[in-house]
Amino acid sequence: MAQISLTFPDGNIRNFDVGVTPAQVAQAIAPSLAKAAISAMVDGQHWDLQWPIHSDARISINTMKDDGPALELIRHDLAHIMARAVQEIWPDVKVTIGPVRDYGWFYDFDRAEPFTPDDLGQIEAKMKQIINARDPVRTEIWSRADALAYYESRGEPYKVELVHKIPEDQDLRMYWHGDWQDLCRGPHFQHTGQVPADAFKLTHVAGAYWLGDASRPMLQRIYGVAFKNRDDLKAHMTMLEEAAKRDHRKLGREMNLFHMQEEAPGQIFWHPNGWTIYTTLQDYMRRQQRRDGYVEVNTPQVVNRKLWEASGHWENYRENMFIVEVDEEGAREKVVNALKPMNCPCHVQIFNVGLKSYRDLPIRMAEFGSCARYEPSGALHGIMRVRGFTQDDAHVFCTLDQVEAESKKFIEFLAKIYSDLGFDKWRVKLSTRPEKRVGSDEIWDKMEAALANACMAAGYPYELFPGEGAFYAPKLEFVLTDAIGRDWQCGTLQLDPNLPERLDASYIGEDGAKHRPFMLHRACLGSFERFIGILIENHAGKLPFWLAPRQVVVASIVSDADPFVEEVVTALTLAGVRAEADMRNEKINYKVREHSVGKVPVILAIGMKEVEERTVSVRRLGETRTETMTLEAIVAELSAAALPPDMR
Ligand SMILES: [Zn+2]
Ligand SMILES: [Zn+2]
């Protein structure tokens, strides 16, 4: 029999028969390894223990100690096990798809009655039975005709549709968990008992359109989370509880920051309090950009499709664009425009006005650019995922030789901003050349080295994500970790030789000839809307004093104190503090409670004793004790605290 050679992580090479499976490879190494094995990596691809290997490859055997593959299998097998449990309890329910997601998985079902919390408990119990039965998992490749016949006979219209969608040249793989079958790419565990039975939980049900298409049936999506052990699950559930308490939609109501309504889905009505956060943050960002050598511009919202055709957005991004057709005077047909989904093509238009020389580069062009993107309604989430938003966007036009220095400069810029905004934990991801790409290897080498060197020079080592770059250039992504351990990708730096080419941007080089500039698309916060959502949740509404929309409430204890209350408010306001009076005829405890729910950081209570002594009784958010301070001392303290970190 023909042989193949497999290279192991320690460099050892061993020969096996063609078609050997990782299960057999593990057995050949040691029976204990075969027992512990859950899957393999074959040339970097996650590989089922049952799949044959047909050519020379690098191989490593995964066990439960390998977190990435272990968690992927746990969550993926649970998706199948949940679907099986649902069909065992309610045989009429139709199954659709069930992918793995952060911390767990979901599966979409077509069922007339809604799933109730009791149903979820019943499904969980059934899932545990399936796990404890240790049912074998097996897999086969099927023909298209067999798969169609099978799903048609079983009355599974969604699966029939899925089979039709799979490209002709692709194998149809089937998986069985016990007798229950699903169409699936795999890989999977070897038997259901490999899934930890006490480390998963079904969390909730939500509506979701089939294939995300609002004209198709509304399905029920059951979400689950799963981990390697009970402690990890517990920690996650605690985090979720904490996250629910901090939910920016709930705090947004309590702090009266914003609202959203049906007439403008995915768009925000900012109330005075929320808009104060927004403009304070924007003023801060504007100062940082000025200091770092950016010029600020502003570009149109409604732009003719011709520009989007030239930039490539019309072809590749149209389903996310809001199209605006206008009866332009004298025109035979309607003029087709789009609301801008991004600012880049407009910035190139500004670059293209007038001749640019190499001496003009780099040009750092910033815009707080309001963009509109059509997001399916199911994807919308508070102010974090919206249809109308403003990016802290900028494009750096430069030469390839300048990319490294510009990237380093940006990383340092972003590090200072994240630190000022209270995020000290963040990391950098470097995504490099994908298989399908344009441009020579020589250019890719230079582009990747420029970004990698910039990270190292700035003192921030990167994590490498091979193959994850755009088809035209590598990128950096910056991921924040918030106070309860959640990750948020906010900053990006995307290198781009492509758009300047498409939109014919050029500069005159030292040699007197025309050259194409490179572009760096970069954002630090991402969008103001989403970042404010992150800030609110990170700080649980208790924003740093300079960002708090209502900084101080001065509350009277008796109405005779009113004139002094007004004097204190005026003194604070003149000192640059956002202060307001509360002279309602209510008990002081009532006032304190109400303003604490509104997350006002400082409440100053004033009774007759304070009036006589010209002092205030200071109560800080989260503390029960009060302290007495003179008017001068509290004004001095709070006016200093109200200064943004860059102005102290
Ligand atoms: Zn699967
Ligand atoms: Zn851009």
Mean pLDDT over 287-291 rounds to: 97
Answer whether 366's CB lies under 8 Å from 293's CB.
no
Spatial distance between the Cα atoms of 151 and 228, rounded to a whole number of angstroms: 33
Q: Is 245 a catalytic residue?
A: no
pLDDT at residue 308 tops 90: yes
Classify burial at 177, counting beta carbons within 10 Å of its beta carbon; exposed 0-12, middle 13-18, buried 19 or more.
buried
Closest C-alpha to 522, from 284, 220, 288, 238:
288
Report pLDDT digits (tens) over 514-553. Answer: 999 999 999 999 999 999 999 999 999 999 999 999 999 9
Report pLDDT digits (tens) over 448-505. Answer: 999 999 999 999 999 999 999 999 999 999 999 999 989 999 999 999 999 999 999 9
What is the pLDDT at residue 170? 84
Q: Is 35 a catalytic residue?
A: no
Mean pLDDT over 3-30 rounds to: 96
For ligand 2, the distance from its centroid to the CA atom of residue 431, given in whole angstroms, is: 17
Whole-structure pTM value: 0.81
Answer whether 519's CB lies under 8 Å from 501's CB.
no
Reduced to 3 states, what is the DSSP secondary structure of residue 230?
helix
What is the pLDDT at residue 417? 97
For ligand 1, the distance from its centroid to the CA atom of residue 632, given in whole angstroms, is: 68
- Bridge partners (DSSP) listed for residue 108: 221
Ligand nearest to the CA of 470: 2
pLDDT bin (cut points 50, 70, 90) of residue 321 is: very high
For ligand 1, the distance from its centroid to the CA atom of residue 159, given in whole angstroms, is: 13
Report pLDDT digits (tens) over 45-103. Answer: 999 999 999 999 999 999 999 999 999 999 999 999 999 999 999 999 999 999 999 89
Ligand nearest to the CA of 80: 1
What is the pLDDT at residue 454? 98
The catalytically annotated residue of 135, 393, 496, 582 is 393
Q: Residue 463: enclosing H or E segment and its boundaries? A: strand 462-465
Answer whether 281's CB lies under 8 Å from 422's CB.
no
Instruction: Tell me which of 143-147, 383-387, 541-545 is least confident.
Output: 143-147
CB count, 10 Å around CB of 497? 18
Ligand nearest to the CA of 184: 1
Ligand nearest to the CA of 98: 1
For ligand 2, the distance from its centroid to the CA atom of residue 182, given in whole angstroms, is: 41
Q: Is 393 a catalytic residue?
A: yes
The catalytically annotated residue of 190, 391, 402, 494 is 391
Spatial distance between the Cα atoms of 75 and 188, rounded to a whole number of angstroms: 10
Ligand nearest to the CA of 342: 2
For ligand 1, the distance from its centroid to the CA atom of residue 236, given in whole angstroms, is: 24
For ligand 1, the distance from its centroid to the CA atom of residue 468, given in whole angstroms, is: 23
Residue ranges near ligand 2 (ion) with Cβ within 5 Å: 344, 521
The catalytically annotated residue of 75, 188, 387, 475 is 475
Q: Residue 499: enclosing H or E segment and its boundaries? A: helix 498-502
Task: State the distance between the two ends of the chain, measured CA to CA, in whole angstroms.
Answer: 76
What is the pLDDT at residue 168? 85
Spatial distance between the Cα atoms of 271 and 27, rounded to a whole number of angstroms: 65
Ligand nearest to the CA of 100: 1
Q: Is 373 a catalytic residue?
A: yes
The catalytically annotated residue of 373, 409, 433, 530 is 373
Spatial distance between the Cα atoms of 413 and 535, rounded to a whole number of angstroms: 19
pLDDT bin (cut points 50, 70, 90) of residue 589 is: very high
574: left (phi over 0), alpha (psi -120 to 50) or beta: alpha
Rg (CA), the chain: 30
For ligand 2, the distance from its centroid to the CA atom of residue 59, given in whole angstroms, is: 40
Residue ranges near ligand 1 (ion) with Cβ within 5 Å: 184
Close Cβ partners of 423 (under 8 Å, ≥ 6 residues apart): 480, 481, 482, 538
For ligand 1, the distance from its centroid to the CA atom of residue 186, given in whole angstroms, is: 5
Ligand nearest to the CA of 189: 1
For ligand 1, the distance from its centroid to the CA atom of residue 157, given in whole angstroms, is: 18
What is the pLDDT at residue 148? 93
Across the chain, how many H-helices and E-strands are there? 20, 33
For ligand 2, the distance from its centroid to the CA atom of residue 611, given in whole angstroms, is: 57
For ligand 2, the distance from its centroid to the CA atom of residue 430, given in whole angstroms, is: 18
User: How is 545-582 classified by DSSP, letter by letter?
Assistant: TTT-SS-EEEEESSGGGHHHHHHHHHHHHHTT--EEEE
Spatial distance between the Cα atoms of 35 and 46, rounded to a whole number of angstroms: 18
Answer whether 133's CB lies under 8 Å from 171's CB.
no
Q: Which ranges of 560-641 does DSSP label H, i.e. alpha helix?
A: 562-574, 588-597, 608-613, 631-641
For ligand 2, the distance from its centroid to the CA atom of residue 185, given in whole angstroms, is: 35
For ligand 2, the distance from its centroid to the CA atom of residue 350, given in whole angstroms, is: 13
pLDDT at residue 338 tops 90: yes
Spatial distance between the Cα atoms of 623 and 372, rounded to a whole number of angstroms: 42
For ligand 2, the distance from its centroid to the CA atom of residue 395, given in whole angstroms, is: 6
| Segments of 375-434 assigned E as strands | 388-398, 426-431
Closest C-alpha to 244, from 200, 198, 201, 203:
203
Q: Is 391 a catalytic residue?
A: yes
What is the pLDDT at residue 1? 79
For ligand 2, the distance from its centroid to the CA atom of residue 349, given in whole angstroms, is: 13
Cis-peptide, bond into residue 544, ω within 30° of zero? no
Answer whether 88's CB lies under 8 Å from 126's CB.
yes
The catalytically annotated residue of 364, 395, 409, 591 is 395
Ligand nearest to the CA of 341: 2
pLDDT at residue 212 tops 90: no
* Cα 213 to Cα 162, 217, 308, 380, 387, distances in angstroms: 15, 8, 24, 14, 17
Using a pLDDT cut of 90, give the percent of the chain over it.
94
Spatial distance between the Cα atoms of 336 and 437, rounded to a whole number of angstroms: 31
What is the pLDDT at residue 102? 86
pLDDT bin (cut points 50, 70, 90) of residue 330 is: confident
The catalytically annotated residue of 201, 236, 246, 521 is 521
Spatial distance between the Cα atoms of 98 and 162, rounded to a whole number of angstroms: 12
Closest C-alpha to 557, from 580, 579, 585, 581:
585
